[in-house]
Amino acid sequence: MAHKVWTGSISFGLVSIPVGLYSATESHTIHFNQYQRGTSDRVRYRRFNERTGAELDYDDIVKGREVGGNLVTVEQDELDAIAPGRSHTIEIVTFVDLAEIDPVYFQKTYWLAPTDEQHDRPYHLLRRALDRTDRVGIARFVLRGKEYLTAIRAEDTALALDTLFFSDEVRDPAEVVDPRSARQSLSGQELRMATDLIESMSGDWQPRDYADTYTARVEKLLEDKSRGRTPEPEATPPEPTDIVDLADALRRSTDQARHGETTGDRETSDTAAEAEAETRTPRQRSASTPQDPSQLSKSELARRARELQIKGRSKLSRKDLEKAILESAGTRSGRGRRSRKAS
């Protein structure tokens, strides 16, 4: 059962929608306890007064900072009082194209849900309007004592809220990569081979094709040790490619990809959705999707574009994608009629 982490309302214009906030993701991290080496004794941490050594309860602890050499303490209700919207409002201040937001700004995703059925209508009105316009709402709100910049966007049946980093929280890549190195000359042959490799390894994004293999290995390690078995170490990582061998490495990599020799979870895992799609005929796939693209959700639109094999679909705006789907479907329909007539 999803755990509600915040309750408040979304506000845009004069419309206010009571909502709850739920984590959209969960971690597979395996959490270990700590023990004194050579024993089964747990290690515990306690809070102590640094000066007296007395152990403290949570109620005895207050937040504070030194300001100008003086200690200033603050209570939680004082922090809540100065928070925007008193911590209970997600106020949308503008709407922007999702493609304009650099992925480096995205932090964590949550689901927003109406708190009761009487607010379903305005909730889904906002969701459909965002989907129709291909926009996201930019807002601020306070969660757990921190103000967040957020992007509210439409999914198939729900609204998603992505917390964003503020601009001064994003580091300049020039701190780690010399901008001058990006201007170095590359041979046309190397660039063509790298492009060919990317094209030969390209495919549609299917998240279920990828699994958390490290967590599975940790679980196997624990299981093996509990049964007295010797764990098998993983293969050593590949050596960095010698700059002299770069062209040869690209050529061999492209050949492997074209012959289906690439390794990894993506190559060995077929999803049920893919299997179902492959077993349906083009006529069945076409019949299962409404012919008016403007009535489709984003995922339905993407699936339809994939079925029609529209090139460059990931870079098209919603409006251009709808147009391309109509044109492609019309062309295929025309070919089908001509073929039947000829037979």
- Residue 40 domain-assigned (yes or no): no
Same domain, yes or no, for 17 and 159?
Answer: yes
On whether both 218 and 239 belong to a single domain, the answer is yes
pLDDT tens per residue, range 295-306 = 777 777 777 887
Question: Mapping DSSP to helix (H, G, I), strand (E, B) and coil, where does residue 127 land?
Answer: helix
Decide if 13 is inside a domain: yes
Residue 187 lies in a domain: no
Has residue 41 been placed in a domain? Answer: no
The pLDDT of residue 332: 58
**Domain holding 153: CATH number?**
2.40.290.10
In a domain, 116, yes or no: yes
pLDDT of res. 216: 86
Instruction: Report the pLDDT value the prediction gives residue 7, as an integer from 0 to 100.
Output: 93
In terms of domains, do 13 and 153 share one? yes
For 227-254, what is each residue's pLDDT tens digit? 888 877 777 766 665 655 677 777 778 7
Say how far apart CA 284 and CA 286 lie, in whole Å: 5
On whether both 111 and 250 belong to a single domain, the answer is: no
Pair (140, 87) in one structural domain: yes
Domain shared by 248 and 102, yes or no:
no
In which residue ranges of the chain is pLDDT below 70?
1, 84-87, 237-245, 260-291, 314-315, 330-343
- The answer to whether 21 and 5 have CB atoms below 8 angstroms apart is yes
Q: Are residues 163 and 300 in the same domain?
A: no
The kind and range of the H/E element at 77 are: helix 76-82
Are both 18 and 155 inside the same structural domain?
A: yes
Report field, pTM of the whole predicted structure over 0.75: no
Q: Domain check: are 113 and 237 in the same one?
A: no
- 329 and 215 part of one domain: no
Report d(CA 143, CA 161) in Å as an integer: 13
Tens of pLDDT, residues 15-54: 999 999 999 998 888 889 999 999 999 999 999 999 999 9
Long-range contacts of 182-189 (CB under 8 A, 24+ apart): 189/247
Same domain (yes/no): 96, 230: no
Residue 73 lies in a domain: no
Question: Which pLDDT belongs to residue 80?
Answer: 78
pLDDT at 86: 54
**Boundary (domain end) residue, out of 215, 245, 268:** 268
152 inside domain: yes
Number of domains in the chain: 3
DSSP 8-state code for residue 311: T
Q: Can you give the residue range of the structural domain that contains 254?
A: 194-268
pLDDT of residue 243: 57
Both 314 and 226 in one domain: the answer is no
| 32 within domain boundaries | no
Predicted local confidence at residue 135, as pLDDT? 94
